[in-house]
Amino acid sequence: MDYRQLYVDPPEQLRSFFGNKISLENVGFIKQYPYSSKYNCLFNDAETHAAVLYEMELYKQFGGGAIVENSNHGLQRNVKFLKEVSQRTGVHVIAGTGHYISLVQPPSVLTLSQEDMCNLMLRELTSGCVDYPDVKCGFIGEVGSGWPLHDFERRAIIATGEVQAQLGCPVSFHPGRHPEAPFEIIRLFQEAGGDVKKAVMSHLDRTILKNENLLEFSNLGTYCQFDLFGTECSLYQLNLAADMPSDAQRMDKVTSLIEEGKEDRILVAHDIHTKHRLIKFGGHGYSHILNNVLPKMKAKGLSQAIIDKIMIENPKTWLAYKQK
């Protein structure tokens, strides 16, 4: 994964702290301004791979069994490495297909037709990945879009709906940073034949901030995913108009949906895509939810049955292909 194309200049007075490495001297600044370090945004180098392998050993040790890996075309997916992680650690890794946002795509990809997109996804889901044929993808995602939608992103969403209708496969969407974005995505997906009950809408914790709007969206029937657990910085560089919630606020959002009887449509995750969130670089790591969030959920009054539904049953149900 490579997020350097989303680089944001740091505040001028802090520029000297954003060099080539992460250290005790600058990690505090990088946690506040993570997209201002190109080194931090490079998530597919040897240092990151070593850190991820270490993390997966810990994840397995703490009870983790599977990882849904959302890198696809546009994020420099590395299926060979995903297979290595799974074989070396015993953690199941599910790879995704489809296309990320237009901003990160080369001109040759931006001109792909809807049919081309469908054929690529069908091939990777049924035969094998174009870059590593030994491995098939297990889902479509994360299908990325901005706000407003780019024509390329619109074609990608519609193609996703068509393939989902054909295969009954699970799907994950990355919405633009606007509260109407998730609604528009699902409308296009459904109009193309996609089954909303097999769709995950990611990043709702930074997209739909008002509880009444969140409840309205949840009524569409998708999985509502809160996937920035561990991000405890209110400054959100990619949308300065929004306040990034804390983990406690994320748990309150989860609870609000549970109180409305939506516990079977909730997912949680970390969306780790920068170095500073890995343990080796001073971060919380892939085991943060297991070690820190779940105990707090219990302290907030959630039952073990509800927690198991969110952590085990819901992911299992989403990942299962719907038989035609």
In a domain, 215, yes or no: yes
CB 247 within 8 Å of CB 253: no
The enclosing H or E element of 267 equals strand 266-268
Dist CA 79 CA 134 (whole Å): 9
Residues 240-249 as b/e (b if ≥16 CB within 10 A, e otherwise) read eebebbbbee
In a domain, 12, yes or no: no
Q: Please report the pLDDT score of residue 19 as a whole number.
A: 82
Residues 6+ apart with CB under 8 A from 3: 35, 41, 42, 43, 75, 273, 274
Confidence of residue 192 (pLDDT cuts 50, 70, 90): very high
pLDDT at residue 324 greater than cutoff 70: no
Q: Compute how many other C-beta atoms are within 10 angstroms of the C-beta atom of residue 71.
A: 22
DSSP code of residue 219: T
pLDDT in tens, 232-278: 999 999 889 889 999 999 999 999 999 999 999 999 999 999 999 99
Number of structural domains, the chain?
1
pLDDT in tens, 65-85: 999 999 999 999 999 999 999
Tell me the residue range of the domain where 250 lies. Answer: 48-319
CATH number, domain at 187?
A: 3.20.20.140
pLDDT at residue 20 greater than cutoff 90: no
108-to-102, 152, 199, 261, 278 alpha-carbon distances in Å: 11, 11, 28, 45, 33
In a domain, 52, yes or no: yes
Q: What is the mean pLDDT of residues 180-200?
A: 98
Q: Please report the pLDDT score of residue 154 as a whole number.
A: 98
In a domain, 184, yes or no: yes
In a domain, 293, yes or no: yes
pLDDT in tens, 103-139: 999 999 999 999 999 999 999 999 999 999 999 999 9
In a domain, 35, yes or no: no
User: Distance between terminal CA atoms of the chain?
Assistant: 34
Q: Please report the pLDDT score of residue 55 as a whole number.
A: 97
In a domain, 77, yes or no: yes
